Amino acid sequence: MTQSKVWAAILLMMTSLFMSSLQARSLPEFTELVSDNSAAVINISTTKNNKSRLSSLAPNMELPEGTPLDEMFKHFFGPNFRGNPPQEESHSLGSGFVLSSDGYILTNHHVIKDADEIIVRFNDRTELEAKVLGSDERSDIALLKVEATGLTPVKVGDSTKLQVGEWVLAIGSPFGFDSSATAGIVSALGRNLPSDNYVPFIQTDVAINPGNSGGPLFNMDGEVIGINSQIYSRTGGFMGVSFAIPMDVALDVVSQIKEQGYVDRGWLGVVIQNVTRELAESFGLDKPQGALVSRVMPDSPAAKAGLETGDVILKFDGKDVKTSSSLPPLVGRTKVGETVPVLVMRDKKKTTLHVKIEKLEEDVDDVVKTKSSRLVDERLAVEIADLTPQQREQYNMEEGGVLVINLEQGPARKAGIRRGDVIISVNNTKIKNSKQFLDIADDLPEDEAIPVLVQRQQGAIFLALKIVKKN
């Protein structure tokens, strides 16, 4: 080997070592973060007393001595048993963290739900009994209080400044192992889960397991920016996808609990769905975006403001509505009584309405069922019928609409229309009866996406219908 080649090999090796060293130094260092915050992270254990089946059958049972049942009860409940059978206890574990030095503690609602006793344990092994000041199931946030002073609180960060790809760290008690630290990155922001419409979750790949719930999620500045709440799993254990409640959501809940003892949420009064590519075309949008209104609740804030079925909500209070799941958190966090602008696309034109938000009282479930005389539209390959009075009652529809009896291969089936659907409108025209439906279907344009509103068991939904021109 020539001298030049030797020097080239040495240079290559040194470059490789330098790059490896540089890469190692660029990886995050968590030791100081864990050391500074371990005292603020707590283990939460709860106890719930459940009456045994026997005690529920005889709640006030007093047994005299010398009965034939003596031996049987002593066999099952011990030699000293003289009264009701003992209560069965169930226990659960979770995590939490100190919010202030005077004893306010934050955790998940599901960690302390229905608990008769809550014990918090600090990393110095101190144990204190905690009381629930308030708990909100919709956001899965609970505020606890212990009688103590001089506690070490966490630093609270701004979760709205989080970016995908940031390093984050969780500290908690998975499976009861106190003060366990796991790290990862922010995988996505603003995730909405089917069971939690009012929380725009932070998605991470931080290892979260049973017992981590309620624990803090830190950024690299040592600030809490989320509360670990849920995992996606097919096995019950961590599979690389976990979800945390943003601290801005949590602090809003905490503020309301401290002020009034409960949480108010805004209510708009619409049933919404996502906008597909085909529906975007039919509503005059350049891309799929917004929340498509498939139903407006009677006497709701939306109805009073003039929102209509078929409107696509693009902005709410100046904030973009990228998908239908983006809207509920925005509405829910709007103060009751506040009037906000809502930008909608209607008849392929943008218009701004002003809605006065009211209080969300309860969820509204739209449940409908199906069945029933017949007309066939060969162009759409669909068989339809007028609704009977009984069916109108089942579908909660006072007037209009036609019931889909059967489908063949054709435009209607391709659009996603199903047997049992009630077609409410076609191309933004309300359907009054079967004959009118046939007339409208005959006049529909070809090679153009047409919005069709149908009512089904899960509620009203828009579909995009396209009749392909035959050559």
Beta carbons of 408 and 376 less than 8 angstroms apart: no
Same domain (yes/no): 121, 189 = no
Q: Which of 145, 174, 198 marks a domain boundary?
A: 145
Same domain (yes/no): 77, 168 = no
| Per-residue model confidence (pLDDT) at position 55 | 47
Same domain (yes/no): 328, 307 = yes
Tokens standing for residue 142: 């609970």
Based on the structure, what is the number of domains in the chain? Answer: 4
| Per-residue model confidence (pLDDT) at position 54 | 44
Q: Which of 294, 328, 359 marks a domain boundary?
A: 359
Same domain (yes/no): 183, 215 = yes
Q: Alpha-carbon distance 407 to 410, whole Å?
A: 8
Identity (one letter) of the amino acid at 230? Q
Long-range (24+ apart) CB contacts under 8 A made by 134-138 are 134/256, 134/257, 134/258, 134/261, 134/262, 134/263, 135/109, 136/109, 136/253, 136/257, 136/262, 136/263, 137/109, 137/113, 138/196, 138/198, 138/199, 138/263, 138/265, 138/332
| Per-residue model confidence (pLDDT) at position 458 | 65
The predicted-structure confidence for 159-200, as pLDDT tens digits, reads as follows: 999 999 999 999 999 988 888 999 999 999 988 876 667 899
| Triad 122, 124, 126: Cα angle to 5° | 60
Domain membership of residue 240 (yes or no) is: yes
Domain membership of residue 3 (yes or no) is: no
Identity (one letter) of the amino acid at 218? F
Beta carbons of 250 and 263 less than 8 angstroms apart: no
Q: Which helix (H) or strand (E) holds 8?
A: helix 3-26
Domain membership of residue 22 (yes or no) is: no
Structural domain containing residue 168: 155-260
- Helix, coil or strand: residue 210: coil
Beta strand pairing call for 155-156 and 223-231: parallel
Q: Which helix (H) or strand (E) holds 201?
A: strand 196-204
What sign has the CA pseudo-torsion 310, 312, 318, 322? positive
| Per-residue model confidence (pLDDT) at position 323 | 86
| Per-residue model confidence (pLDDT) at position 362 | 45
Same domain (yes/no): 252, 165 = yes
Q: Alpha-carbon distance 85 to 57, whole Å?
A: 10
Q: How far is CA 288 from CA 228, 322, 328, 345, in A?
A: 31, 8, 18, 12
Tokens standing for residue 170: 């969780």
Q: Which of 324, 359, 394 marks a domain boundary?
A: 359
DSSP string, 359-399: E--S------------EEETTTTEEEEEPPHHHHHHHT-SS
Domain membership of residue 380 (yes or no) is: yes
Closest by CA to 332, choosing from 275, 271, 258, 252, is 252
Domain membership of residue 1 (yes or no) is: no
Q: Which residues does the annotation mark as catalytic?
A: 110, 140, 213
Same domain (yes/no): 343, 423 = no
Q: Alpha-carbon distance 426 to 405, whole Å?
A: 17
Domain membership of residue 104 (yes or no) is: yes
**CATH code assigned at 126:** 2.40.10.10
Same domain (yes/no): 181, 221 = yes
- Number of Cβ atoms within 10 Å of the Cβ of 198: 20
| Per-residue model confidence (pLDDT) at position 187 | 95
**CATH code assigned at 421:** 2.30.42.10
State the Cα torsion 69-72-74-76 to the nearest 10°: -140
| Per-residue model confidence (pLDDT) at position 53 | 44
Same domain (yes/no): 207, 271 = no
Same domain (yes/no): 47, 112 = yes
**Positions in the chain short of pLDDT 70:** 1-11, 15-26, 50-90, 194-196, 234-237, 362-374, 390, 393-394, 457-458, 471
Same domain (yes/no): 225, 169 = yes
